[in-house]
A and B are shown apart, each in its own frame.
Chain A
Amino acid sequence: MAAPGMATKKRLMVLLVSFTVIVLFLIGRIAQIQFVQGYELQKKAFIQQNTGRVISPIRGTIYDRNGKKLAISVQAATISCNPNEIAKNKKLTKEKIAEDLAQFLSMDKDTVYGIITKNVSSAIIKRKVDRETEIQIRTWISENSVRGINIDEDAKRYYPGGNLMSHILGFTGDDNQGLMGGIEEVMDKYLKGVPGKILSEVDARGSAVPSEREKRIDAQDGLNVVLTVDETIQYLVSKSLDKAIADNKVMGGAVGIVMDPDTGDVLAMVSKPDYDLNRPFAYPGNIEIDIDPSEWKERSKETVEILSRTVWRNKAVSDTYEPGSTFKSITASAGIEEGVVTPDTITDDFPIKVTGWPRPINCWRVGRPHGTETFREAVYNSCNPAFVKVAQSLGIERFYSYVRAFGFMDKTGIELMGEARSQFQTKPKEIDMAVASFGQRFTITPLQLATAYCAIVNGGKLMKPRLVKELTDSGGNVVTRFEPEVVRTVISKQTSDIMRNILEGVVSDPKGTGNNAYVRGYRVGGKTGTSETTKEDVYIASFCGFAPADDPKVVVLVALFDPRGESHMGGVIAAPVVGKIIEDTLSYMQVERRYTDEDMKSMAAAVTVPEVRNKSVGEAVKALKAAGLKYDIEGEGNTESIVLQQTPKPNAVVPEDSVVILYTYRPEESKTVAMPDLSGKTISEAAYAMNRLGLNIKVSGNGTAYRQQYKPGTVIEKGTVVEVEFRNMDNVE
């Protein structure tokens, strides 16, 4: 047989060339896909590989400093469908499926139908479906062998405290992402975790392949955030503010901040009005708006705008105000630190003329100034001219360097978004400094002031205020611990000591402007403030206090915006609120009361309880205050309500400062408690135990409790005054 001829060889060469051309073409095609179209295709591939049905990770829990849960994720389900599979149902029609699902999920039937007939391989019908509904749907699926409905676990955020932490936490959106600049948003990257994924195989037609095996990548749960906030203190502050708002017809809301001066830990931060974190878009019942609740459209542009400028707003960090006289502590600290003034320096509050201003600056008590006085007294009396003089001695540069050092020119850097920037004159003149010395014509945030007070009383260190203590994993192990941060040292320890001493006098001196903040047994210090605003007759009453004065555990700032009650003076309406918060907080923190001799005397002093029944609450409170008694209202706290019953009864003789319980409803029986065993307790221990139960104590003698009027366990009415005899046991022996 002959070998292939020339013609054959030629044809084979044609073949080789043709194949080579095709190979080169295909190589070019691959290069085109990889390098020319590469980026676009890779992006699409990435999106595809990272979608599918997502398993939401469980969002971390937010705890208060004692481990109480403030924000938790509860199990919820996401109901999704595969429309291609839905179409394959034999038992139920698409219409029937839509109808049933709509009923379970309280959705519109047509909406559901639209989703389950979409031309996609997977569509979400509803998120955050509760457990009960989920079980209903699961039963329905198995009973009717429904195909194409997927139920994936998801988590729903729940806030056990409702309104309590609204501004600290903020809430989460549909995708469980943190919103509102609160801890939920700021700590989102730690809380959110890493989502997992469920991939179901899809063939070329987009149907799930018959085998039910799914590829599952588990979600990685988020970390827990432990706050510095103490839920109980937050609650105490919130309750006190509510009462203050009602008592003083406060129109513009209120702020209350409690900080630990040594660490900068925020123990409580309340801004009023607040909102329920579980229903953030709901009609706000606590503010006056023009919209009728029936016309309130949740999540509409209009209602969200209203919510953002009212109840969603954290006035503690997002609003700035003129601090007024509370700022005098800063001026005083600067003056003492720089040696331009001492507590005993003689000064006066006669009108003082400042360049750049036509009228002289007066003391607030314009008609009858306090005259010549020591600087200490000037602080007690809150005399403006005395502070103008201190500022003038410091000079513009030094004065403002202290303002800056106390942190007023910078944001505090707290773990919240939306911190407002303070407003100062860019190039302050003499007159600017003069009025700034008593807190006017510049604005700061309440948090900046509280933080500066921490520095004044803690020995001079400006601490960075903080809300987050640590991050923990699901096993409760600490992953990251955040340490307190000293920003800078502003004043010396000596100056701090002197300031605490002076500010304690502001409260303890019977004539001091802050006397209303006095709490027996706890040495309270602080400074009042009454600020003007740009609107006429709109004031901000504030008080910034701390206690115990010798070793402060808390700094408390309360500001009431636009009070329309009988007074708008900080010393009259804000100081008692701070006093109450300090008393409640320190009792709760089990800080021991140490009564001064004055305290003991007043506790022993007898007062006759006036008749307040059938009076309005407003009148009753006035009468009790006049008699030197405290009160507590059971029932509606409205000043118009009528007091129907009181304990102790009229004409009972009780120690000064005893609490009279006012009932605005007719109780079927009075609130009762069991008498505790006080034997062996000191006066302060006994008083604390009794007050906690709502009982009053009439002290006689000294030392430890020796005899009590009622035997331990006796059921007695709340508010009852119990006589307790104390004896110094050493003397007996």
Chain B
Amino acid sequence: MKKKPFDFILFITVLILLSLGLIMVFSASAPMAEKETGNIYYYIKRQLVFAAIGMVSMMLAANYDYHKIGRKTVWALFLVSVVLLILVLIPGIGSEANDSRRWVVIAGVRFQPSELAKLALILFFSYNLSRRKRPLDSFFRDLMPYLFALGIICVLLLLETHLSATIIMISIAMIILFVAGAKIRHFAILFVPVVVMIIAVISFTDYMTPRINSWIDPWSDPRGSGYQTIQSLYAIASGGLFGRGLGQSMQKFLYVPEPHNDYIFPIIAEELGFIGALLVMLLFLIFIWRGIKIAVHAPDVYGCLIASGITALIAVQSLFNVAVVTNSVPPTGVSLPFFSAGGTALVLFMTEAGILLNISRYSSYERI
């Protein structure tokens, strides 16, 4: 197949997201870094290193023919992810933070298996679905194996108590199945038990109660479960149209929890105002638009599904993050792609963008 230059708009969008992300990580992390390590450059230094690794990884992926990602690779990736997700649960290997086990340390590098699992799932689904000879007609015969694979990963994630990753994983899987041609009525069949389960969790366990309460009225417990949401809203509201100015956030000073991580978007809104927040939203929308365009014009189903999966990942995760910080959905911890500090995630997002760029090189459309 003839290779063309990759999608330039997508490439620029990723670079702008990354640069803006680095600037904001520096601004938002400085007080936290100063407090934790005495060095305001602590987080930004790490993030710069990962950004560099990510850039290399992206360029490699963009030039590595995705067709070469074959049966062995996708199975291997899937199995490695499952093993790592199991390892994470074993005390001594998995490291605990905020009552959740989400990291493993491999060769001195802290690594978040759930991030890898997202890519593994996308490739695993895309490969196997693209190899099918007949349509996804039967729920049990055709869909069940995929739901089973998804189920394994979700159970492991839930054991980590990583609810947000579970939701993202399910969303990506559903989107890939949807694009691959799964029957709408099968989604309806899936929908019923999911709703029943959600209602059951809400009614019979206390896990969701404070989250739901603080979602409906964060001020019912401003020092408790509503704290993060309130601080986030304070930050966004303080921004106004043009923001306080870069570096001028007040809320990043020990008010907003994790201002460099899950709650970086409120700091962007506070420092750069509505204009800045709008810019970030539009950048993600451009990413989604180009991603879907690449999927539509992919030369084959495999490329189409990978592109859909990656686009779905970036879209779901970024929109979910913004939905949480604006209190549009009940709060849960989800990071903002390209922005939040965090090495594994950044490198993988960059790699995934690279794969998208690679697919675009084989597409059938004329690019600018």
Q: Across the interface, which residues of A come within 8 angstroms of B319, CB to CB? A: 19, 22-23, 26
Q: Across the interface, which residues of A come within 8 angstroms of B151, CB to CB? A: none
Q: Across the interface, which residues of B come within 8 angstroms of A15, CB to CB? A: 175, 178-179, 292, 308, 311-312
Residues of B in contact (CB 8 Å), total 59
Contacting A at CB under 8 A, from B203-227, are: 223-225, 227
Q: Across the interface, which residues of A come within 8 angstroms of B273, CB to CB? A: 34
A23 to B279, CA, bound (A): 12
* CB-based contact A45/B251 at 8 Å: yes
Q: Across the interface, which residues of B come within 8 angstroms of A732, CB to CB? A: none
* CB-based contact B241/A34 at 8 Å: yes
A20 to B224, CA, bound (A): 34
Instruction: Judge whether B8 is part of the interface by a CB distance below 8 angstroms.
Output: no
Residues of A in contact (CB 8 Å), total 47
Q: Across the interface, which residues of A come within 8 angstroms of B167, CB to CB? A: none
- B366 vs chain A, min Cβ distance (A): 16
- A213 vs chain B, min Cβ distance (A): 6
Q: Among A19, A35, A37, A215, find the residue whose CB has the most chain B CB atoms closer than 10 A.
A: A19
* CB-based contact A16/B254 at 8 Å: no
Instruction: Judge whether B277 is part of the interface by a CB distance below 8 angstroms.
Output: yes
A202 to B281, CA, bound (A): 30
**In the complex, how many residue pairs between chain A and chain B have their CB atoms under 8 Å apart?**
157
- B86 vs chain A, min Cβ distance (A): 30
Instruction: Judge whether A366 is part of the interface by a CB distance below 8 angstroms.
Output: no
Segment among A5-13, A97-105, A641-649, A677-685 that sits at the interface with chain B: A5-13
In the complex, per-residue mask of B226-259: 1 if CB is within 8 Å of any chain A CB, else 0? 0110100111111111000000001101110100
In the complex, per-residue mask of A207-225: 1 if CB is within 8 Å of any chain B CB, else 0? 0000101010000000000
Q: Among A29, A45, A206, find the residue whose CB has the most chain B CB atoms closer than 10 A.
A: A45
A327 to B281, CA, bound (A): 81
* CB-based contact B254/A1 at 8 Å: no
* CB-based contact A29/B178 at 8 Å: no
Instruction: Judge whether A31 is part of the interface by a CB distance below 8 angstroms.
Output: yes
Contact of A11 among B31, B178, B299 (CB under 8 A): B178
A651 to B132, CA, bound (A): 139
Contact of A201 among B130, B254, B298 (CB under 8 A): B254
* CB-based contact B240/A23 at 8 Å: no
A687 to B274, CA, bound (A): 84
* CB-based contact A215/B233 at 8 Å: no
Q: A11-B178, A12-B179, A45-B238 are in contact. Are A204 and B225 (CB under 8 A)?
A: yes
Please, which residue of chain A has its CB at the minimum distance from the CB of B182? A11
Q: Across the interface, which residues of A come within 8 angstroms of B278, CB to CB? A: 27, 30
A7 to B236, CA, bound (A): 41
A34 to B270, CA, bound (A): 9
A3 to B328, CA, bound (A): 38
Q: Across the interface, which residues of A come within 8 angstroms of B277, CB to CB? A: 27, 30, 34
* CB-based contact B288/A33 at 8 Å: no
A13 to B254, CA, bound (A): 43
Contacting B at CB under 8 A, from A184-199, are: 199
Q: A1-B300, A22-B319 are in contact. Are A12 and B292 (CB under 8 A)?
A: yes
Contacting A at CB under 8 A, from B260-292, are: 269, 273-274, 277-278, 281, 284-285, 288-289, 292
Instruction: Judge whether A278 is part of the interface by a CB distance below 8 angstroms.
Output: no
Contact of B35 among A4, A12, A34, A211 (CB under 8 A): A211
* CB-based contact B224/A204 at 8 Å: yes
A48 to B273, CA, bound (A): 20
Contact of B295 among A4, A33, A49 (CB under 8 A): A4
- B2 vs chain A, min Cβ distance (A): 15
Contact of A206 among B180, B223, B238, B285 (CB under 8 A): B223
- A2 vs chain B, min Cβ distance (A): 7
A201 to B277, CA, bound (A): 27
* CB-based contact A35/B274 at 8 Å: yes
Please, which residue of chain A has its CB at the minimum distance from the CB of B314? A19
* CB-based contact A44/B323 at 8 Å: no
Q: What are some 11 contacts across the A-B interface (CB < 8 A)?
A: A4-B298, A8-B179, A8-B180, A19-B319, A33-B233, A33-B326, A41-B234, A199-B253, A202-B227, A204-B224, A211-B35
Give the A-binding residues of B (Cβ under 8 A): 31, 35-36, 130, 175, 178-181, 223-225, 227-228, 230, 233-241, 250-251, 253-255, 257, 269, 273-274, 277-278, 281, 284-285, 288-289, 292, 295-296, 298-302, 304, 308, 311-312, 315, 319, 322-323, 326, 328, 364
Taking A3-B300, A11-B179, A15-B311 as given, write out 6 further A-B residue pairs in contact, using a Cβ cutoff of 8 Å, ordered by the A residue number: A19-B315, A23-B288, A27-B277, A41-B233, A41-B236, A49-B251
Give the B-binding residues of A (Cβ under 8 A): 1-4, 7-9, 11-13, 15-16, 19-20, 22-23, 25-27, 29-31, 33-35, 37-38, 40-42, 44-45, 48-49, 119-121, 199, 201-206, 211, 213, 215
